[in-house]
Structure 1
Amino acid sequence: MASESVFLPQEIIRRKRDGGALTGPEIADFIAGVVSGAVTDAQLGAFAMAAWLNGLDRDETVELTRAMTHSGATLDWSGLSGPILDKHSTGGIGDTVSLLIAPALAACGAYTPMIAGRGLGHTGGTVDKLEAIPGYQTRPDAAILRRAVREAGCAIIGQSTEIAPADRRLYAARDVTATVESLPLITASILSKKLAAGLGGLVMDVKTGSGAFMAARDDARALARSLIEVANGAGLPTVALVTDMDEPLAPVAGNALETLHAIEVLAGRREDARLVVLTVALGGEALALGRLSPTPEEGAERIRAAIVSGAAAERFARMVVELGGPADLVERPRAHLGEAPITLPVAPDGRGVVSGVDTRALGLAVVSLGGGRTRAEDAIDFAVGLDRLAGIGEEVGPDRPLAVVHARDRAAGERAVEAVRKAYHVAEPGETVERRPLVLERLA
């Protein structure tokens, strides 16, 4: 229950500024003020900075997450025959796991109402990938969302104005006050949306490496532990995998290109061992959380079978139709996904073996082509991007480029070619190069 005393945002800010702990009612009052407008932008920025400087303990973070969860509508899936499960990634390059895992979970008996995000900075966003599909509604009304989840078993959508509105305003303040990296605020932002979606189990994919927001492994581990502790404290069973983002997950970057790649993998027309390995690992953990499998390992085999058999592709196709997209997208994806008019190969300086990748630089190259955004309101070009990205340990040379740039015009394409070339490190031919494991750590 909120405090009966007069609400003074500056006093809450003062306590946190001075290193004190906030009570649940104080946090609830503050978040209610964020939604109502009683808390000004200046006060919200000051609170974010105080939290960044002095931190929030576990109890404070749980209370903040709960308050943000209940700052708007929450979804109720009672009546469905299976568990409500989801996966969330902290973001990376070539990460199309969501497009595979949601329909694969549905094919295994789960329901997945996935509230996904847009790209910002150097990372791509799942919502942007889906908006490359003509007609696909990423902000359906409640009736369409419920029908899609009921009929397809999954629906990947963006955050509506009704879900966790306090999160949108707090994130906007963090974005312009250099407080994005606060672990408690990241934790509350992610989990408030997941809790509002009515989940019964969540698996987190926390990235580390050159293409991740948490580049250092210790930082990624700390975030994973924070997410697990707070999620469990708020009543949401959660497991986290710390995974490698020292190179792109899939050999593509760019919205239509990544969507096409995911569809081709689902349809069995293209192989991608790394993408499937991570999808299977995360999906197995989710099925175990939902008690659809006795162990994560057995769950992983069920997810793999759903992909190999085409059952996941069928669920994906059904989801697309339910949310307004073309009925033949899986059969004829190139007929619906836009293509950039200019393609330019990125030739290496000589023959050799890829020994390292500045993955963040690849993401920024896509942004420079118009395929990403630096501000939330920026328009993006779905068709541009990179494909045929060479992985660590792969031989490159005159007959195997580092990548292929897809551009709207030649000048932008040539700039991207140079950026991609600089992002790659190539060792001498025959040199042994070690590739990091994809799944680095499991935390529960």
Structure 2
Amino acid sequence: MLPQEIVRAKRDRQPLEARDIGDFIAGVMDKSVTKEQIAALAMAVYLNGMSRDEAVALTTAMRDSGTVLDWSDLGPAVVDKHSTGGVGDNVSLILAPIVAACGGYVPMISGRGLGHTGGTLDKFESIPGYNVTPDDEVFRRVVKEVGCAIIGQTGSLAPADKVIYGIRDVTATVESVPLITASILSKKLAAGLKGLVLDVKVGSGAFMADEAAARELATSLVEVANGAGMPTVALLTDMDHPLANAAGNAVEVRSAVNVLRGNGSEPRLREITLALAAEMLAIVGIADSAEEGLRKSQEALSSGAAAERFGQMVSALGGPSDFIEQMDEHLPVAPIVRDLTLENGAEYAGRLSFDTRQLGLAVIELGGGRTRSEDNIDHAVGLSDLASRTWDGSSPLCRIHARDEATFQKAADRVRRAVRQGGGQTPSSVSERITA
């Protein structure tokens, strides 16, 4: 079928055959399909949606546009997690070592910050020497020997996604659920996983602030992933308040390492991380159930085994061999580190809430995020010691790590404006589990 006929069919709400979708994606790669035709199909999908079978066909065609990794030598325990992103979301740093310590293999291919949300790769680049783009041989060796490696996407994995996303980004079609689904899952399928757990965020700090929209995306992801042959479950998790008590890069690494070392309480961060770990262990058969997976995960964290795996991963990918023990010797520190107070804090005592997206934007104003893709990141800046929902109203609201006085003041103003009067009831950290 000609590309324009595929566009016409979707425009007219006619079902697309898997073969035609595959031909279209092949044309994206050999450039026989034009940018205008890609944009037209993206808009037609945005307006008319896709059936489950169409979305599976699109996802697998995008997967097959490049290299598909093969971990068959490691058996069935190759598993990963994907998060839809949030503020203070440093779960991956804790989660991958926990699963590795329980006998799983986690080849985690992560991304950089997007919009107001932080990126896992940006966090790891806070660590001196850590290589987020190792060659394939190093990547495979670290996964096999340590059990986990967190790196960036290579150009060979689902390259059609990069082409299509670049066009979606400038044609107002980013929000299409089928296109989001194919974009996320094509890369995960190309990573050669035997199982996947999705962390779909809900709340003011999430891309899907509305619970119904988040549930729609989670359901689509689970159905399409399972339809493509990758067992998948999703958890809807709370992002109406920063997850960690920090937002930034080096500050979130400190938060994660403190949890791994048993020095940080961070109950919501621990709860969500352990819930995801439990599902990951269950979905690939390391545990007989999520309940058993939770017990194994708790033991891996409390015993220090997960912290040991994290240290091994950092060292194997070029970072300091004593990073876990000497974290503060290695992470960058901002020139200005100062507490922020709130004059009328008593009004919010015990009922504090944030417009969490604004906290992410405060990190960007400090230089810890990007306004353009080519911007450099200041890994030292950010927010730490963020007040919890049960804040007493008199202690500092947070601690700001800034490069200079001007950016400190901009961030301080934004954080103050982000303060809201919270409700009396704390929402569940994990509100729903979605399966096929």
TM bucket normalised to smaller: over 0.9
- 2:419 — aligned with what? 424
CA positional deviation for 1:338: 0.9
Is 202-211 or 317-326 further displaced after alignment? 317-326
Determine the C-alpha separation between the residues in 2 that align with 1:441 and 1:335.
40
Q: Does 1:392 align with 2:392?
A: no
Q: Does 1:415 align with 2:402?
A: no
Aligned pair partner of 2:166 in 167, 172, 191: 172
SS at 2:72 equivalent: coil
Letter in 1 for 2:427: R
CA positional deviation for 1:325: 1.0
- 1:118 — aligned with what? 112
8 A Cα contact 2:116 2:361, kept in partner: yes
The within-5 A match list for 1:427-438 is: 433-438=424-429
Determine the C-alpha separation between the residues in 2 that align with 1:264 and 1:403.
18
Aligned pair partner of 1:291 in 285, 292, 300: 285
Identity value in percent: 56
Determine the C-alpha separation between the residues in 1 that align with 2:328 and 2:3.
53
- 1:271 — aligned with what? 265
8 A Cα contact 1:120 1:376, kept in partner: no
Letter in 2 for 1:390: A
- 1:440 — aligned with what? 431
CA positional deviation for 1:81: 4.8
Change in Cα spacing, 1:247 to 1:292, as seen in structure 2 (3 Å) is same
Gaps of 5+ in 1: none
CA positional deviation for 1:263: 1.1
Is 353-362 or 111-120 further displaced after alignment? 353-362
8 A Cα contact 1:356 1:426, kept in partner: yes
SS at 1:56 equivalent: coil
Determine the C-alpha separation between the residues in 1 that align with 2:171 and 2:364.
22
Determine the C-alpha separation between the residues in 1 that align with 2:359 and 2:153.
27
- 2:8 — aligned with what? 14
Determine the C-alpha separation between the residues in 2 that align with 1:323 and 1:75.
19
> How many pairs were matched up?
432
- 2:330 — aligned with what? 336
- 1:363 — aligned with what? 360
Determine the C-alpha separation between the residues in 1 that align with 2:210 and 2:263.
36
- 2:194 — aligned with what? 200
With the length of structure 2 as denominator, give the TM-score of the two structures. Answer: 0.96
CA positional deviation for 1:43: 2.2
CA positional deviation for 1:134: 1.3
CA positional deviation for 1:82: 5.3
8 A Cα contact 2:76 2:194, kept in partner: no
CA positional deviation for 1:426: 4.5
SS at 1:156 equivalent: strand
Aligned pair partner of 1:377 in 374, 379, 387: 374
- 1:104 — aligned with what? 98
- 1:77 — aligned with what? 71
Deviations for 1:73-106, whole angstroms, at most 9, x for unmatched residues? Answer: 0111111155101111100001111011101101
Deviations for 1:356-407, whole angstroms, at most 9, x for unmatched residues? Answer: 210001001111111111333322111111011112122122xx11111111
Letter in 1 for 2:400: V
Determine the C-alpha separation between the residues in 2 that align with 1:35 and 1:375.
26
Gaps of 5+ in 2: none
Is 268-277 or 342-351 further displaced after alignment? 342-351
Runs of 4+ more than 4 Å apart: none
The within-5 A match list for 1:16-415 is: 16-81=10-75, 83-352=77-346, 353=349, 354-397=351-394, 400-415=395-410
Determine the C-alpha separation between the residues in 2 that align with 1:261 and 1:350.
28
